[in-house]
Chains A and B, each alone.
Chain A
């Protein structure tokens, strides 16, 4: 069962912050985040593993709440280059170990 992302779309001005959420109905082993710009390949952002730490680099970070079965992606002081569609992929482990199921995506648009 696919994770649910919220919001579906968000519009920001440069320098503003955004949070994208990814919720699953199943217990999760890991959560993966990707960004895809129009006409381009999805690009890896980060992986969060069960029992792992919150991750981030520069102004993009993410958290993984195992109990709530959800992950959040934090974009601070957004830049024009952050525009694109953000996908979370979840791995429920067990018999589904290693099999990523992706959410429907969140479209992020950053304006000058």
Chain B
């Protein structure tokens, strides 16, 4: 248990569905991140939020829409995804951003797009 909780752990969705991934941390951290982890590929940074403000969008397609209502919660809204979007989506948090301190990762949501 790292202090970062992601739900759901597994998600199967059709290409026309709309779903959301949730991330929650009660570590008092100010920065939160979404990463994508595909098979045989490195961890890819998607979005960064610092004090609820988005500070990084790493050229992510608009079918992924993040939301950070407060410093403890981060969402990733999904719509009209493609099969190649199937991956493990990891949320992380750190005390501050830039990341010169330890980042805590959630266990991820395993997403399958059919």
Residue among B4, B42, B102, B104 facing the most chain A CB atoms (10 A cut-off):
B42
Q: Is the CB–CB distance between B98 and A2 below 8 Å?
A: no
Is B103 close to A, CB under 8 A? Answer: yes
Chain A contacts for B100, CB-based, 8 A: 30, 47, 49, 91, 98
Q: Smallest CB–CB gap between A43 and chain B, Å?
A: 7
How many B residues touch A, CB cutoff 8 Å? 24
Q: Is the CB–CB distance between A43 and B105 below 8 Å?
A: yes
Q: Smallest CB–CB gap between B10 and chain A, Å?
A: 11
Total A-B pairs, Cβ < 8 A: 57
Is A84 close to B, CB under 8 A? Answer: no
Q: Smallest CB–CB gap between A57 and chain B, Å?
A: 13
CA distance A98 to B40 in the complex (A): 24
13 A-B contacts, Cβ less than 8 Å apart?
A: A40-B107, A41-B105, A47-B102, A49-B100, A89-B43, A91-B98, A98-B100, A99-B45, A99-B56, A100-B99, A100-B103, A102-B42, A103-B42
Q: Is the CB–CB distance between B43 and A87 below 8 Å?
A: yes
How many A residues touch B, CB cutoff 8 Å? 24
Q: Is the CB–CB distance between A100 and B90 below 8 Å?
A: no
Chain A contacts for B48, CB-based, 8 A: 98-99
Chain A 61-80 per-residue mask, 1 if CB under 8 angstroms from chain B, else 0: 00000000000000000000
CA distance A4 to B41 in the complex (A): 12
Q: Smallest CB–CB gap between B107 and chain A, Å?
A: 5
Q: Which of A2-57 contact B (CB under 8 A)?
A: 2, 30, 32, 34, 39-44, 47, 49
Please pick, from A30, A41, A105, the residue contacting B107 in the complex, using a CB distance under 8 A.
A41
Q: Is the CB–CB distance between B41 and A104 below 8 Å?
A: yes
CA distance A71 to B8 in the complex (A): 36
